[in-house]
Amino acid sequence: MIPLVLIRHGPTDWNAAGRIQGHTDVPLSEAGRRAVRTWRLPAEIAEATGDWDWLTSPLARAQETAQILLPAAAHKFLRREPALIEMHWGTWEGHSLAEVRQAGGTETADAEARGLDFCPPGGESPRQVQARLAPLLAALDARRRPVVAITHKGVIRAVLAQATGWNMTGRAPARLQDGCAHRFVLDGAGAPRIERLNIPLEGSEAAP
């Protein structure tokens, strides 16, 4: 079993305003940078830099989070991975969910009820996110090295759904908290399994 640790990027101004980001390349806010500076990787990761692979989404908010959070020794090994980019929200990007729900009425509600097959206009579905992640997870599994990846909520939810069989309708099997690491393992065939979710990054060295 290969460890796969997924971490969502720090806060942005669009997060604070409740605006959908998707592929829009929004940087961390000043408050976000301050928050990430308080984060610490779990000791077993931070103290074994050379034993881990380090990946980041190509979007600025993830790359900046990686540069602040990861040990300096890991920076030269950090690799941008296109498959880790956030789910594409199409024409909804830049708007709040309240705005798109009000504009779309029952059509929007019907779309959201499709779960894994929910697809914003011009965007992609969580099932499509899982499909683009599949070759990456298989390749990481084949390398037989543990991985830390700085990515996005939509990506982590897609991995969670795959690991639990959740079809993204109804209540999620677990609530993913921000400012945390989410530790999965790859099962030898590139399929993720949950090991531990919501590991606090702020003061994580003392966390159980």
Residues annotated as catalytic are 9, 86
What is the rounded end-to-end Cα distance, in angstroms, of the chain?
21
- List alpha helices for the chain, DSSP H: 13-17, 30-37, 43-46, 60-69, 72-75, 97-104, 106-112, 126-143, 153-164
Two tokens, residue 184: 């999965």
Over its C-alpha atoms, the chain yields an Rg (Å, rounded) of: 17
Identify residue 159 by its one-letter amino acid code: V
C-alpha span between 208 and 200 (Å, rounded): 10
Beta bridge partners of 56: 80, 150
